[in-house]
Amino acid sequence: MSVKYSKDHEWVRVEGGIATVGITQHAQEQLGDVVFVDLPAIGKKVTKGGEAAVVESVKAASDVYAPVSGEVVEVNGELSGDPALVNRAAEGDGWFMKIRISNEAELGELLDKAGYDKFVAEL
């Protein structure tokens, strides 16, 4: 199961037409200590590149954008009580939402790990 990355610093892991989405390790390092996560409602329709969630840290609040279009089918409820899970496991248990993908072709527009690492290095 491969992981893809957006230039907005989200990661996507796809399994059976469902994309698990979170923010990258780089993004959480830039944010600092995460203190609050505002997750979308289940059933919300999201559009690739559109605002899907909000993550707040001691430094700033940042939008989390949908890396693919579709419908939110699950959110990570653990983040409500433990938003710092994003800091501890940004690309693992600190995921934000699961989206039923409506347009699989959009996955082709995302970066692989090497492409994302190169993108971050050039920032």
pLDDT digits (tens, 9 = 90+) for 36-85: 999 999 999 999 999 999 999 999 999 999 999 999 999 999 999 999 99
> What's the average model confidence in pLDDT over 20-42?
97
Full strand arrangement of the beta sheet holding 61-65: 34-38, 51-57, 61-65
Is domain 3-102 annotated with CATH 2.40.50.100? yes
Which residue ranges make up each domain of the chain? 3-102
Q: How confident is the model at residue 1 (pLDDT cuts 50, 70, 90)?
A: low
User: Has residue 4 got a pLDDT over 80?
Assistant: yes
pLDDT reported for residue 75: 98
Is 107:4 a contact under the CB 8 Å cutoff? yes
∠ at Cα 117 (14, 101), nearest 5°?
Answer: 20
pTM here?
0.96
